[in-house]
């Protein structure tokens, strides 16, 4: 193990190492050569790629200098730049992961914005760059993105919801889709392991490797058509949902188009009934609950019964006095002495 180096020196040293060996290095090798932890090296590699613009490739755990694939520059009008800015900020608002590539994109977008608002966009980029980074998530998302763009298959080590152990799956990445409800990004793919279409939460990917095998996207497959029955990310056969909203909130319900299948009917007294067809009662149920007692589920009976049972449990919980956390003896003795706790 060598003596740890300052970050600026270390970043220069990393570039020298990559230029000296075409085969590249593993993160463990780089950590040994620079005297820092593997996690620090992973952060350094992200900085090199996003802030320094160093074209790094990765294959089977080895990082190497690659020919960077820059997309063609865009000539944006103010309104087009505004649309990109709002779309990016909306996505980032519902993402709980730091994304150095998004911060870099916002910095470039700031350069083409009018001077009067340029500072706001740069401030947004700075705030995004300050978010904690998860190097594993960023690396996996970058690999998934590259495979999606190049139409290459992926080998994923994936940990399903509620499971401690991961499972290896081979997939063809079809679409990337964010979900506000889950504060997450999802990969919609054909799974060779499962023999059909599946959705994978990117945050649950333990590792991702791009395979040399290419694939073709089915010509009749459309993301919008696929998710037409979804409230969020779950698609499939739809349930007919019928909801009665009180006059106090009906104006807000009428204000938005909540789902492509919705039908809105006004009622005497100012209320309204919203009917729609969605695949997942769990996903739409979260939204229904957000309206509290201003909404009544008329159908289906399954969702109505779920809410009724939940209301009974809530009534019982709130009928009792709250059980506050017990104070530690040390905290109690300080309070008795009249001391303050910072």
Q: Are 176 and 144 in contact (CB under 8 A)?
A: yes
Residues 170-189 as b/e (b if ≥16 CB within 10 A, e otherwise) read: bbbbbbbbbbeebebbbbbb
What's the DSSP call for residue 180?
T
Q: Flag residues of the chain having pLDDT under 70.
A: 1-5, 67-71, 94, 96, 181-182, 328-342
In-domain check, residue 228:
no
Predicted local distance difference test score (pLDDT) of residue 332: 47
Separation of alpha carbons 133 and 99, rounded Å: 7
In-domain check, residue 342:
no
Predicted local distance difference test score (pLDDT) of residue 333: 46
Predicted local distance difference test score (pLDDT) of residue 308: 95
Separation of alpha carbons 86 and 80, rounded Å: 10
Predicted local distance difference test score (pLDDT) of residue 339: 38
Co-location of 251 and 305 in the same domain: yes
pTM over cut 0.75: no
CATH number for the domain that contains residue 143: 2.30.30
* Residue range(s) defining the domain that contains residue 108: 78-129
Predicted local distance difference test score (pLDDT) of residue 281: 93
Q: Pick from 221, 255, 285: which residue ends a domain? A: 221
Co-location of 209 and 165 in the same domain: yes
CATH number for the domain that contains residue 38: 1.10.10
Co-location of 35 and 102 in the same domain: no
What torsion, rounded to 10 degrees, do the Cα atoms 331, 335, 338, 341 define?
50
Predicted local distance difference test score (pLDDT) of residue 266: 96
Separation of alpha carbons 264 and 259, rounded Å: 11
Predicted local distance difference test score (pLDDT) of residue 74: 77
Predicted local distance difference test score (pLDDT) of residue 255: 95
């Amino acid at each position: 193990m060598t003596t740890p180096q300052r970050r600026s020196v270390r970043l220069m040293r990393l570039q020298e190492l990559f230029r000296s060996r075409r085969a590249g290095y593993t993160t463990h090798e780089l950590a040994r050569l620079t005297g820092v932890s593997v996690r620090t090296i992973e952060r350094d590699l992200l900085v090199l790629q996003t802030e320094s613009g160093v074209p790094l490739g990765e294959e089977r755990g080895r990082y190497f200098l690659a020919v960077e694939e820059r997309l063609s520059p865009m000539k944006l009008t103010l309104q087009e730049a505004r649309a990109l800015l709002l779309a990016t900020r909306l996505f980032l608002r519902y993402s709980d992961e730091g994304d150095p590539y998004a911060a870099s994109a916002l910095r470039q977008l700031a350069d083409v914005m009018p001077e009067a608002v340029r500072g706001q966009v740069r401030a947004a980029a700075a705030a995004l760059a300050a978010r904690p980074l998860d190097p594993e998530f960023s690396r996996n998302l970058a690999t998934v993105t590259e495979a999606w763009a190049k139409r290459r298959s992926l080998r994923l080590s994936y940990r399903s919801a509620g499971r401690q152990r991961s499972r290896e799956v081979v997939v063809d990445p079809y679409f990337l889709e964010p979900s506000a409800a889950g504060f997450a990004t999802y990969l919609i793919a054909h799974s060779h392991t499962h023999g059909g279409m599946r959705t994978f939460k990117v945050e649950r990917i333990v590792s991702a490797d791009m395979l040399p095998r290419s694939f073709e996207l089915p010509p009749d497959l459309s993301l919008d058509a696929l998710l037409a029955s979804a409230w969020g990310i779950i698609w499939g056969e739809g349930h007919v949902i019928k909801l009665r909203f009180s006059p106090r909130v009906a104006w807000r319900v009428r204000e938005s188009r909540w789902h492509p299948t919705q039908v809105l009917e006004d009622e005497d007294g100012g209320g309204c009934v919203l009917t729609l067809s969605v695949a997942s009662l769990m996903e739409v149920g979260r939204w229904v609950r957000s309206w509290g007692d201003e909404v009544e589920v008329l159908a289906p009976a399954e969702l109505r019964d779920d809410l009724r049972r939940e209301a009974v449990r809530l009534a019982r919980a709130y009928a009792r006095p709250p059980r506050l956390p017990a104070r530690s003896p040390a905290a109690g003795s300080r309070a008795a002495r009249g001391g303050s706790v910072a």
